[in-house]
Chains A and B, each alone.
Chain A
Amino acid sequence: MRDHLLAVRSEKAPCQTTIAEAIMSSREVGPSNSASPRELTQNPLKKIWMPLPCKNGLPEKHISQRKVCMTNCPTLIVTVGLPARGKTYISKKLTRYLNWIGVPTREFNVGQYRRECVKIYKSFEFFRPDNEEGLKIRQQCASAALNDVRQYLADEGGQVAVFDATNTTRERRQTITAFAEQNGFKVFFVESVCEDPVVIAENIVQVKLGSPDYMNCNTEEAMEDFKKRIECYENSYETLDEVWDRHLSYIKIIDVGRRYLVNQVQDHIQSRIVYYLMNIHITPRSIYLCRHGESDLNVKGCIGGDSGLSPRGREFAKYLGKFIESQDISDLKVWTSQMKRTIQTAEAVSVPYEQWKALNEIDAGVCEEMMYEEIQQHYPLEFALRDQDKYRYRYPKGESYEDLVQRLEPVIMELERQENVLVICHQAVMRCLLAYFLDKTAEELPYLKCPLHTVLKLTPVAYGCKVESIFLNVDAVNTHRDRPENVEVSRMAEEALLTVPAHQ
């Protein structure tokens, strides 16, 4: 998620918390004087207990620390490998994952810089090792990219930067290491080694042929040229060496994940990166996401709870079963939450299913089983705060979307390991999973449209995900509430309830 890192420097008293203060994910707090411990106040948005600012009304400087990143240094991930070894695929996927779990990450693709510099790509000759002019331009592009990396990590609150380039010579890698050291960044190399001609050819077909470089070529020409391009790098390629590079931190991925060599993992985030990289695969498969069938509480316009399916919900379940059968999916796994409505839905699909507590709907705490009208009536302040920052807002005695994402991380990890899976879940949960697959920001996530009785079929393709939306033709209430215009605490009830969907 593109989270903001904001040091709290507000002059306000704590009860007038600004959005900025609320957004600050203050997991780590500075020291107090043990003789007079600080009073605590609960931040109204995130329901986090924080020490009251003291001393002349000025707040203490909080050491803002992100949840996942328990290091203070930013991390520079450097890809290594010949062309068509999956470096960009890995870079993009890893970036998407890290952002989703709350670590601000950005990728910097040197090829992109080169395309902006050299408007028209002629042929592989640009990459010849003896092409002085070509080399000069490529060096400049790498420098420009590193410059942007520095800006992102040092000035823009980025936590991880992925430097996506071949970086196939020791010399280049030394330059990068020196750059990182100078700037106080940790470095982690991700090398992809593969000699399987089938895999390489498939890569070229999937992502290279459609590249801007080959816009005006036919398939054979492009294929030929790209192969020659790879050859330009081959002679000078120095793989990460067990002895020479034993002090570097890296993971070497061999043959698309058959084997891994992991060296000198320094900290938590690198450990998580390694774990993630070791769980992803590229075997073609599809992920089906849908919500439970319409429930009795849905019909009433109530949120949460643990009710059963309405008659239309049961109808949907039946159609879902038929739909799944018609798709003729090999080895389908079906996952549900532990709430009655998803399990009832799964019962109609004649495939064994697994119940995951982690897939349970967001806990609305004191607002469980209330209609939006009731929430406005009993908790108007909470209702407004939620509209102000729906991602970070935590229900009293409940959860936030941010909490949900953390809860769902093991589900995502297992989804990565699996092949064909149908996940029958809930609105907020499905939004979180969808945001992961479609690379949506924290701002977009809580407003993603996940209507009842609609199956989303996600199929990884090239660098992203193809989405097919299949409405199974059984009517249901709409449960999607858009962000109203007026999110002020002082707003009128009507303004708050303007976007509430119709219900019984």
Chain B
Amino acid sequence: MLYGGQVEKIELQQTPLLKIWVPWLGIGGCKISRRRGSSVPQLTNSPTLIVMVGLPARGKTYISKKLTRYLNWIGFPTKVFNLGQYRRDAVQTYKNFEFFRQDNKEAMQIRKACASNALKDICIYFSKENGQVAVFDATNTTRERRVSIVSFAKEKGYKVFFVESICDDPDIIAQNITEVKVSSPDYVNCDKEEALADFLKRIECYKQTYVPLDDEKDRNLSYIKIFDVGSRYLVNRVQDHIQSRIVYYLMNIHVTPRSIYLTRHGESELNLLGRIGGDSGLSPRGHKYAASLGSFLKGQNIKDLKVWTSHMKRTIQTAEHLGVPYEQWKALNEIDAGVCEELTYEEIQEKHPEEFALRDQDKYRYRYPKGESYEDLVHRLEPVIMELERQENVLVVCHQAVMRCLLAYLLDKTSDELPYLKCPLHTVLRLTPVAYGCKMENIFLNVEAVNTHRERPVNVDVTRDPAEALKTIPDHF
């Protein structure tokens, strides 16, 4: 937040990295604390505590992890606090479901202590680690437990948002148990049937005391109730922007099996010359790749495949080889390199050595003069991600920086890792959601192309020699 003043002469300076205009306080003036998230306004003030509610095997952890991944990607620091994990740390070996029996007083003590510790850690995350959202992943099936969480939050000034998952379809529950419970550390020494039987008894232990969020009694709480994996939702008292985004996201995700294919356009003429950006066409090898891509897709025999491209010639030319309808998204356009468009790295070093160094210092947040940053890209790509969540089988033909952003979302990479993810030309990445994450297959279609990946050089100082700056540049014609 920046505060205006009664200044006659409103002097501003543009921060070199983010290219944000801030008031100039003169030499020796104190710096306003650096704003996070330059391209997105800060729309939340209090930290938010998301509290999961539901019987075991209702997808709470799935939702927690996915939501956390999404919130982090769009720039809200978020962390999951999984109570089961705390329990596993406290009770080294899991014997059987008896631990979860209502009358097991000793276990109850341990479980309460774990919950307490988790809440303490949440406090630390908010106050000392700059966290903005914490997801408390536990059953929280009794009113008593939820009341204590709400008072804890009130005391600390956190907002609370409940996410309850309700499902009574035995097939879905069995599927969940098979996918994620049977392989849990709890059941490392059991065979499948034993694990399944024990887990079902575990669920029974909770059922007796389960009190779902109530229309009347809980009418003042903020929550979303998800019924039957998303066929129905009940949303109550959304308080603010972040809760509204969370609701929108949760209402768009699904669990239907499908695959997402990511690829860059075929090698372009500017790629060959080592130039960044621009809107050139494919090189001969690029065309060859596109044709191979077409054959590859036919071989994959994908049901109802949607194909998306950017508005740039090279992705559209690539899609033209595929023989299927495609949709153009402006949001998938490559990062705008502003004044550096169509330059080689050597030319950037020559013409804008300081910019080149700043970029190496913080590649995620660095914004090209009159251009964009990776951070801006993420913001631009959010509607694409939302639609990707809604869709089933999709092939996205895009660009290096764009693909890095999408990949970071799907594979939960940090903003530090994101700009250095390897997305070589002529390679298809096939991502298939499985358990709590994504299985990735890397398929190189055997058509040679230039390498466009530039590693972070060792010396990122503005004072460095050109040679040091250009050390990691890939070869080109």
Contact = CB atoms under 8 A, between A and B. Distances in A.
Interface of A: 27-34, 37-38, 40, 42, 47-49, 51, 63, 65, 70, 242, 246, 258-265, 268, 271, 274-275, 278-279, 308-309, 314, 317-318, 321, 334-335, 338-340, 343-344, 346-357, 368, 397, 403, 406, 414, 417
A357 B4 contact: no
B39 A357 contact: yes
A30 B325 contact: yes
A109 B328 CA distance: 36
B4 A338 contact: no
Contact of A338 (B1, B21, B248, B326): B21
Given A34-B294, A42-B313, 17 more contacts: A28-B325, A28-B326, A28-B328, A31-B324, A32-B320, A40-B317, A259-B219, A259-B234, A268-B387, A271-B390, A335-B41, A350-B5, A350-B6, A354-B1, A354-B41, A354-B42, A403-B330
Given A48-B328, A344-B10, A262 B232 contact: yes
A25 B426 CA distance: 30
A343 B316 contact: no
B320 A37 contact: yes
B170 interface: no
A262 B248 CA distance: 11
Nearest to B3: A352
Contacts of B190: none
Interface string B229-265: 0011111111011001001100110000000000000
Contacts of A338: 19-21, 38-39
A350 B247 contact: no
Interface in B12-39: 12, 14, 19-21, 23, 38-39
Contacts of A271: 248, 251-252, 390
A500 B38 CA distance: 36
Interface string B321-346: 11111111110000000000100000
Contacts of A354: 1, 41-43
Given A27-B328, A354-B1, A38 B236 contact: no
A417 B316 contact: no
B235 A309 contact: no
Nearest to B322: A34
Contact of B251 (A31, A265, A317, A414): A265
B290 interface: yes
A261 B7 contact: no
B77 to A, nearest CB: 19
B311 interface: yes
A266 to B, nearest CB: 11
A49 B241 contact: no
Given A49-B312, A278-B247, A340-B21, A414 B323 contact: no
B231 A263 contact: yes
Contact of A343 (B12, B231, B327): B12
Nearest to A413: B244
B232 A259 contact: no
A423 B294 CA distance: 48
Given A263-B231, A271-B251, A29 B39 contact: no
A37 B248 contact: no
B379 interface: yes
B9 interface: yes
A52 to B, nearest CB: 10
Interface residues of B toward A: which range?
35 or more
Contacts of B237: 258-259
Contacts of B40: 356-357
Contacts, number: 172
7 contacts: A49-B311, A262-B233, A278-B244, A338-B21, A343-B21, A347-B7, A350-B5
Given A260-B234, A268-B387, A275 B12 contact: no
A37 B290 contact: yes
A261 B251 CA distance: 12
Contacts of B123: none
Nearest to B375: A357
B234 A261 contact: yes
B365 to A, nearest CB: 13
B231 A340 contact: no
Most buried by B among A33, A34, A260, A318: A34
Contacts of A258: 219, 236-237
A264 B241 contact: no
Q: Which 6 A-B pairs have the closest CB atoms?
A: A34-B323, A354-B41, A37-B320, A262-B233, A347-B10, A260-B235
A303 to B, nearest CB: 14
Interface string B291-333: 1001000000000000000011100110011111111111000
B327 A347 contact: no
B2 interface: yes
A40 to B, nearest CB: 6
B12 A278 contact: no
A31 B323 contact: yes
A271 B19 CA distance: 35
A24 B354 CA distance: 44
Nearest to B369: A306
A278 B224 CA distance: 12
B235 A348 contact: no
A350 B4 CA distance: 5
A3 to B, nearest CB: 16
Given A262-B233, A268-B387, A352 B1 contact: yes
Contacts of A346: 2, 4
Contacts of A314: 8-10
Contact of A351 (B4, B20, B43, B247): B4
B376 interface: yes
A105 to B, nearest CB: 20
Contacts of A353: 1-2, 4
A356 B376 CA distance: 11
Contacts of B10: 309, 314, 317, 344, 347-348
Contacts of A344: 10, 12, 21
Nearest to B316: A49
Nearest to B387: A268
A259 B235 contact: yes
A351 B3 CA distance: 6
A318 B244 CA distance: 36
A347 B13 CA distance: 13
Which of A279, A339, A347, A406 gathers the greatest number of chain B CB atoms within 10 Å? A347
